[in-house]
Amino acid sequence: MSRVFKDKDNQVTQKYKKGYHDGIDLVGYKYALDYITAHSDGVVVSVRSNYKTTDKTGSSYGNYVKIKHSNYYTLYAHMKYGSVTVKVGDTVKKGQTIGYMGSTGRSTGAHLHFEVRNAGDVKIDPTPYIDADFTSDTSTTNEIEYRVHIKGGNWLSWVKKADNTNEGYAGIYGKSIDGIQVKNRVYQAHTIGGSWLSKVTKVDTTSSGYAGIWNKSIDGIKIENAKYRVHIKGGSWLDWVSKVDNTSNGYAGLYGKEIDGVQIKSL
């Protein structure tokens, strides 16, 4: 049986895709509708229950419930108007009914949009947890937190680990990066056809709070006191770098080659 439906097994109608669809869409077996249930024990931290319409544009969840668990959050969106059965502050148990599948918000048909977020409230791939318990801890995280800005786009979510999962790097394959932020480190960026920019020592919304120049693709980065590497757009991951200097091994990147992914971890 499903962990998020009362009576039906679930089937995926839209998969998770980092930066494009940060959850999974589910319906019951053979597209049946069903009551939505809490994935695990937790406390309700956010609710919307008064949404009546379906939107063609925007990013509205419509009626939704967000639950905080021990090391994770879950979010259940597009619920039917009038079906939400919980309120903020309620303690819920695994399998407890919290609403009914609907098509409120940005939706083209009745379904459940299901999200999982880590302890830092960052969206992660829910797929491993559709029918499974959460892991007991978040030991894959490390002390370095980083994120990148997509050229012509926005800042992506903060990343706190470096591995082969969708949440183990900052970036979107095929999308050039023009800015990077790294917490608690000194960092630097090189732009294509340009030079190394000034070192950055902070993270904020000012021009000196990130490394890069809007709409100028980055082809090299330097991170002090860290182990780091980059992914070349249309290519692959380069070797890990653990120092900062002017040699070919003292930065991550290839001059003239756009970067679309970054990984950083502690030494």
Given pLDDT bands bounded at 50, 70 and 90, which one contains residue 30? confident
Mean pLDDT for the stretch of residues 79-106 = 95
Find the distance separating the first CA and the last CA of the chain, reported in whole Å.
Answer: 44
Given pLDDT bands bounded at 50, 70 and 90, which one contains residue 142? low
Lowest mean pLDDT of 19-33, 133-147, 200-214, name the range.
Answer: 133-147
pLDDT at residue 139, as a whole number: 40
Which amino acid, 48?
Answer: R
pLDDT at residue 137, as a whole number: 45
Mean pLDDT for the stretch of residues 129-148 = 72
Lowest mean pLDDT of 110-114, 142-146, 196-200, name the range.
Answer: 142-146
Determine how many CB atoms are found less than 10 A away from the CB of residue 173.
12
CB 218 within 8 A of CB 170: no
Question: Which residues make beta-bridge pairs with 114?
Answer: 24, 76
Q: DSSP secondary structure string, 117-185? A: E-TTS-EE--GGGTTSPPPS--TT--S--EEEEETTS-B---B---SSSTTSSEE-TT--EEEEEETTS
pLDDT at residue 121, as a whole number: 78
pLDDT at residue 15, as a whole number: 92
Q: What is the pLDDT of residues 185-242, one digit of tens each?
A: 899 999 999 999 999 998 988 889 999 999 999 999 999 989 999 999 999 999 999 9
Given pLDDT bands bounded at 50, 70 and 90, which one contains residue 29? confident
The percent of residues in the chain predicted with pLDDT above 70, rounded, is: 95
Q: How far apart are CA 124 and CA 157, in angstroms?
A: 10
CB 6 within 8 A of CB 37: yes
pLDDT at residue 140, as a whole number: 42
Q: What residue ranges in 15-111 does DSSP mark as E strands?
A: 24-28, 35-37, 42-48, 54-55, 63-68, 73-79, 91-92, 97-100, 105-106
Given pLDDT bands bounded at 50, 70 and 90, which one contains residue 141? very low
Dihedral of alpha carbons 216, 211, 237, 243, sign:
positive
- Phi and psi of 127, rounded to 5°? -55, -45
DSSP code, position 240:
P
Q: What is the pLDDT of residues 94-108, one digit of tens each?
A: 999 999 999 999 998
In three-state secondary structure terms, 45 is strand
Q: Quote the mean pLDDT of the chain.
A: 90
pLDDT at 255 over 80: yes
CATH numeric code, 10-129: 2.70.70.10
pLDDT at residue 104, as a whole number: 94
pLDDT at residue 138, as a whole number: 41
- Per-residue burial over 186-220, b = 16 or more CB atoms within 10 Å of its CB, e = otherwise: bbbbbbbeeeebeebeebeeeeeebbbeeebbbbb
Q: Where in the chain is the domain with CATH 2.70.70.10?
A: 10-129
Q: What is the pLDDT of residues 38-63, one digit of tens each?
A: 999 999 999 999 999 998 776 699 99
pLDDT at residue 18, as a whole number: 78
